Structure 1
Amino acid sequence: MEAAETFSHRYGQEVVKARALRDEVLASVSSDEIGMARGHASRINEAIRSRLASSGWALDPRVHTGFNLDVNAIKDRVGLTVQTGNVTRAFYDLLKFQVMHLHDRIDAAVLVVPTHGASRALGSNIANFNRVTKELGLFKHIITVPCWVLGIDEEGGGA
């Protein structure tokens, strides 16, 4: 598993790179041990979370006080979430990032989703890189947080 595709929404990748987190994020999604297949979603999420934690990322930070909402990780004002579930959850994750950005908790976000092909291997109606990045363009005036979207698959494309 590794980053096969990337998309920088509102210079998200550039912010992540400026925080010296780009290589760390890419390393967190690289694993020869996990393939894209039904039933692997939780293994994918846990592998990435484990790598992030070992790199000093805080896990499960709250989106806002008083609400039981969180994202997967945060470090140096960059939030990160892995979404291998239903496609609607990816847009909910983007809204959580937007709230964190508006409340000055993060300066950028990273959303990790399967590529289109990998999403089909994981199940039906799973979040996928093509749909998320296409629809981010539609919502560009609503989702203003800089966001780097990574499409993960079994074989990378040189992200």
Structure 2
Amino acid sequence: MIEKDTNRVLLLAKADAIAAAIAGSEEAKSFWQARAKMERHVEAQKLFDELKRKTNALLTLKDRLGEKHEKYQRMKAETDALWDRLADIPVALQYKAAQDELNGLLQEVTLIMLARLREQLPVERGPRQCGSGGCSSGGCGGSCGGH
């Protein structure tokens, strides 16, 4: 039992070390710098907040009505217009790029761990988790939109 507890403690310490390495990475530093610039840009911040709300509403409409429905299409056009407005603000583009870079690093680490574990354990990739503003597939708040 003591050996099991010791192994668990060592494993969790290694997980903490990986988390600390990610938090101290260039990707994380770039993200925090870009976020600080974004927080000082009132218009970009307002557009991102609106985009998050509309993206959540868009996902709800997609689930309830489907992508072909008029309400969904209208909301999709509104989110696309917000992305177009954000594309004209360099600080917003830097923030999104930094967010995507950090998310990419996190995804790579996760995929490597899953690949290694899959060789020895019956590991499945569960459903994609969104909502943190960090995915770049088009399904989440601030950083998604497929642009």
Same fold (TM over 0.5): no
- Larger Cα-atom Rg: 2
> Greater share of strand residues, 1 or 2?
1
Greater fraction of residues in helix: 2
Q: Which has the higher contact order (CA 8 A, sep 6+)?
A: 1
